[in-house]
Every structure is written in structure tokens, then in C-alpha cells.
Chains A and B, each alone.
Chain A
Amino acid sequence: MKRIDLIKNPLSKDNPITVQVLGICSCLAVTAQLKPAVVMALSVTVVVALSNLIISLMRNTIPPRIRIIVQLVVVSTLVILVNQILMAFVYDVSKQLSVYVGLIITNCIVMGRLEAFAMSHGPVDSLLDGIGNGLGYGIILVILGFVRELFGRGTLWGYPIFEKLGLYNIGYENNGFIIMAPMALILVGIIIWIQRRNCEKS
């Protein structure tokens, strides 16, 4: 397999969320606005890429019986680092993300990639695979965050875009329902639907 495919495949036909159905929890909970969604996407990409790299470097020395514990320790150390960095530099976003930063530890994408890829491939490939899957996860988060913030609040990254366009003057109203939790599930369902249709055609 070519190295470029390691990054390209997870973005579309092997997407961690819509095809592998991993890491759903955080993808739904943090996407009510664009900014936390982008921060979350970056944090997950960093954690997946680095943990893939570290586990891949250690893969020949880890005894298979206790590999889950070793993986958990590596991942949770990285997550603690990310959590502390977020609290130091973007405190308001880290408050919004609340427990979901900690929950990156049990995010199935991380464990899934470690088990399925990093345990059996070299460090460079694993790093690329981690970045690819992190970005594949991130792209869905950004789409959801974009749609939900734009139609739910009429803003993008906090900028009141619909107000500037003057849509409220001609009778437009925000769809408050789309910020609610259940709408995120329905939106993901629709994204999966569209993507599977496209894959079937090609």
C-alpha cells in the first residue's frame, strides 16, 4: 500500500466515523459549535498520531497478554498532556469540552487503530495512519459543527454571519432544535446515507 493512501483512505472510503463506526460519543457531543469541534478534532489527531507512533516503536517489546494496559497507559498519558495544554491556552473551550477530553482515552478510534494497525506496522506508517484517521474523524466533526452552528445559532466561529447578511430582517429564524443532542444523531445518519450512496455508485 502506498503511503499517501494511509492518509487519503480514512478521509473518504475508510472513514473512522461513517464507515468503521468508531468514536461516535465525542463526535456528537462537542459539535454544537465550530470552535470546540475544531479543537477536539486537533486533540484527537495529535493523540492518535503520537500514540500510534509510540506503540509502534514499542510493539516488539510489549508482552501480548498485557498490551491493553500498556496501550491505556500510553494513551492516558498523552491525553493528560493534551488536557493540561488546553487548560493552559484555551481555557474557555476546555470548559466547554468538559469530560469529553478525558474520554479520548476510551475513544474507540484510538484503541482501534492501535490494535489494528500500530501493533503490526512500522513507526512511519503508523504515524501517517494516525494522522489520516485523526483527520478523517476531524472532517466529520467540522462538517457537523459547521452545519449545527450555522443553522442553530446563525453564527460561524462566533461571528454573527446571518445577522450581517440581514436574514433576520426578512423573517428568518434560527432553528434552535438543531443544537439539541438528538439532531446530531440524525445528521450523522444522513451523512452516512449520502456517503454510502456515493460509494455504491463509484
Chain B
Amino acid sequence: MEYFNIFVKSIFIDNMIFAFFLGMCSYLAVSKTVKTSLGLGVAVTFVLLITVPVNYLIDKYLLQPGALAWVNPKLADVDLSFLSLILFIAVIAAIVQMVEMIVEKFSPSLYNALGIFLPLIAVNCAVLGGSLFMQQRAYANVGEVTCFALGSGIGWLLAIVGIAAIREKLRYSAIPPAMKGVGITFIITGLMGIAFMSFMGIKI
């Protein structure tokens, strides 16, 4: 039940976009049509699902204070946690590159659908943010971390597909010229965020 709880919580209550504003840059840039935003959303979910558990294992067995004790008891008081930022971003960049090559080799059709978005994801705040939140919230085991990663990815996907659907309709509305494009998107995101706030008190 704990797993399901974390999963639902990270989709609705701790939504990456509406609660923490992570991944806003690509959220604003790519949300012009539903189809492309669905592609980007799936790619982000996929990358989160792989990188967050990997970074969890790195954090647990290499970086935390005393984590190196399994190598040699003498290393028990080594604390490498200041290296976590550089190691996390290196892992993310490497995994994104690897996923790109693997997808290209085994499924060219998926590669054509996701291909242009994959390089963008390495510098998407939502992906690094997922790893940093994982480190901060101290989840108990890999299962919980995986649920958290999947949930945050799906939450991000929901948000970007929702805003893309609204923006497709917005083309036919009368918006003040200075407000068109980015300005109105910000305000709509704010309103969607207020709607998502209604999930806040829910306990599962």
C-alpha cells in the first residue's frame, strides 16, 4: 500500500510542475500541440524511471556518509555527498545518451517519435530535480524510489498534455496582443496549479 501511496502522491500532490515548477522551460517551449507534448512527456517519464533509481543506488552505496563501508571497513567515515551534484548530472547525461543509442538501434520508429526530444531531456530540470528530491526525502528502498520516479514522470506528462490541449484551443480566442504566447500560458498554468492544489489535503 505504501508504494501506491507514494505513486499517487507524486502524481497529484507533489506534481513536478504545479507544486515545484520543475521542467518549466521545455514545458513552455514544447507545449504547442498535444502530439509533440505527449512524445516529450513519455520521454521524460522514461528517463526519470531509469535515472532516479540508478542515482539512488549511487547515493546509497557510494556517496552518503559511511556508504563506502561495504568496500572496506576503514572507509566507513568517508563522506562524499558533496560530489552528488556532479555525479548525478553525469549519470543523467550518460544514460540519456545511452537510451538514445539503444532506442535508435532497436526501435527506429520509437526513435523517430522521441529522437528530437531526448537530447533536450539531459538538461531538463525535472530529471535532475527528481534525483535531488529522492536524495532529500530519504526513501526507504529501491521500490519506493521507482514508484516516486514513475509518479513524477506521469504527473509531468499529465501537466504538459493538459496545457497543450488548452493552448490548441486558445488559438481561436481573443487575447490582448501583448499577452499572446508566453504571457497567457503562464496565467493558465497558474490557474491549473490552483486546481491541482485541491488535491493537497487528501490522505490515502
**Which residues on A are within 8 Å of B, measured CB to CB?**
21-26, 28-29, 68-69, 72-73, 76-77, 79-80, 83-84, 98-99, 102-103, 105-108, 111, 180-186, 188-190, 192-193, 196-197, 200
Of all A-B residue pairs in the complex, the 8 with the closest CB atoms, nearest first, are A182-B193, A189-B186, A185-B190, A196-B178, A186-B190, A24-B24, A99-B132, A189-B187
- Chain B, residue nearest A177 (CB): B194
Q: A102–B85 Cα gap in the complex (Å)?
A: 6
**Which residues on B are within 8 Å of A, measured CB to CB?**
18-25, 28-29, 82-83, 85-86, 89-90, 93, 122-125, 127-129, 132-133, 136, 176-179, 182-187, 189-194, 197
User: Quick check: B183 and A21 within 8 Å, CB to CB?
Assistant: no
User: Quick check: A21 and B25 within 8 Å, CB to CB?
Assistant: yes
Interfacial chain B residues near A77, Cβ < 8 Å: 86
Given contacts A103-B129, A105-B89, are A25 and B23 in contact (CB under 8 A)? yes
Interfacial chain A residues near B19, Cβ < 8 Å: 181
Given contacts A102-B128, A111-B123, A182-B193, are A76 and B85 in contact (CB under 8 A)? yes
Q: How far is the CB of A18 from chain B (nearest CB, A)?
A: 8
Contact for B178 among A107, A183, A193, CB less than 8 A:
A193
User: Quick check: A25 and B183 within 8 Å, CB to CB?
Assistant: no
Q: A105–B128 Cα gap in the complex (Å)?
A: 9
User: Quick check: A193 and B179 within 8 Å, CB to CB?
Assistant: yes
- Chain B, residue nearest A108 (CB): B25
The interface centre, meaning the residue of B25, B124, B185 with most chain A CB atoms within 10 A of its CB, is B25
Contact for B128 among A29, A106, A181, A183, CB less than 8 A:
A106
